Amino acid sequence: MTTTSIPGGRSAAGRTRQFFWEEAVQDWESSRKDGRRPEFSEYVARNLRALREGVGREAGTAPSMRFVHRVLLQDDGSDRLPDRYVAEHHTLTLFGLHQHAASEPVHQQGVGLGTACLLLRRSEALTQAAVERRLIEAATAQDLHELVQHLHRLVSLLRQAGIGLDYTRLFRELTAWDGPDRNRVLRSWGLQYTDPGTPDPGDEENAGRDRTPYWRTFDPDSPDAGAHLAALRSGTGREPGTVAAMWPYHRIRMASQWRDKGSLTRDLTAEHTALTLFARHQQTRHRRMHVAGNSPGTAAGLLAGKAAASSEGKAGTAALERRFGVLLTSADADELAMHLRSFVPLLNQAGVGLDYDLLRTALRTWDDPHRPDAATGFRQRWDRDFHTAASS
């Protein structure tokens, strides 16, 4: 009879069957409910050994794994295995490595890879830099094969630290890796890893607040300052949340379900853009370029004042005013970001700072349909700031 590959481990006859890692959890739980010492049955133990035999082998070439696959093959004469079958093979071998010698099931629903790495960092089994290096190596893998190699090393560390992982989620992510949904997978890992956690219920003052933004804590004298700024600049023009090198610098709070889904929100987009602009602005400067109160209007006005006092005179001032006027007419946040990218190098050259808290808010709300008057308000305030600073 011909079988088909159907999502969710569902057979052609419509019968749903759990993935093996889900069966293993149910098997372990059933022994505990029966009053016996929690342990895996011989069926599960035998198949776990079979999974480890498949490590390093191509999908479909490990006969002992045939009976633990739940993604069915389509009998269509094709020589190419379905992506979901290949992803399941890798997920099974990773699960086999992770579960080896563990006293409890390692498949833990809801624990994504980013969350697992966050727990690994907090366990202090490795330094923060070591955890981030391994996560970034996985996130920058060029293809599924390379990703799996990095995950083998990560899973071994998770096993040693006693940290579980949602293997059903990982299966879906491996399936998506070589397709158009990779960015959503990357964003979910990054958002999970940078999750600041739920504030203390008794801490009403900080409940719901973001952590201190990176541009406020940046230390120009730090020996790592140049590397940090380079990591942030690498995100210029890239989709927010998908640049692994930037993950350690994100500070926003976000609902857990949005993090897990890798949602591209206005808050994330605004912070991403502000971070990349700050990195370009701060480059080669030994004084922090985040200056509270300096709106783009104030900064442009200060530039105009410098131009007026230089050999450029009125012509330089007029050119800056025209450029700033174009920025004010931005129709949406994307256009605003584009103009800011050409404006920030001028501020860098002149050593004029900018309020990045204010800039992030403007990028977040400029074209927010729930705040239709936001852009108009910014335009009016920044225009006043420009003329005040230019004439001072």
The pLDDT of 45-64, averaged and rounded, is 94
Q: Rounded to two decimals, what is the model's pTM? A: 0.87
State the average pLDDT for the chain: 90
**pLDDT value of position 246:** 97
Residues 114 and 190: beta-carbon distance below 8 Å: yes
Report helix, strand or coil for 10.
Answer: strand
- Higher pLDDT: 115 or 197? It is 115
- Higher pLDDT: 24 or 36? It is 24
User: How many percent of the chain have pLDDT more than 70?
Assistant: 91
- For every residue of 104-116, DSSP letters joined together read S--B-TT--HHHH
Confidence of residue 331 (pLDDT cuts 50, 70, 90): very high
Write the CB contacts of 354 (distance below 8 Å, at least 6 apart in sequence): 281, 289, 290, 291, 294, 295, 296, 299, 344, 347
The pLDDT of 337-365, averaged and rounded, is 97
CA distance 366 to 378: 8
**pLDDT value of position 131:** 96
CA distance 57 to 64: 12
The pLDDT of 361-384, averaged and rounded, is 97
Task: For residue range 275-316, list pLDDT tens digits in order.
Answer: 999 999 999 999 999 999 999 999 999 999 888 877 666 777
Domains of the chain: 7-179 (1.10.520.40), 208-285 (no CATH), 291-392 (no CATH)
Write the CB contacts of 358 (distance below 8 Å, at least 6 apart in sequence): 295
Task: For residue range 32-50, list pLDDT tens digits in order.
Answer: 776 778 889 999 999 999 9
Task: Provide φ and ψ at 165, rounded to 5°.
Answer: -155, 145
CA distance 10 to 13: 8
- Higher pLDDT: 208 or 292? It is 292
**pLDDT value of position 1:** 31
**pLDDT value of position 16:** 61
**pLDDT value of position 315:** 76
**pLDDT value of position 202:** 43
Rounded to the nearest 10 degrees, how much is the dihedral formed by the CA atoms of 199, 205, 206, 207? 50
CA distance 304 to 299: 9
Task: For residue range 75-129, list pLDDT tens digits in order.
Answer: 766 788 999 999 999 999 999 999 998 989 999 999 999 999 999 999 999 999 9
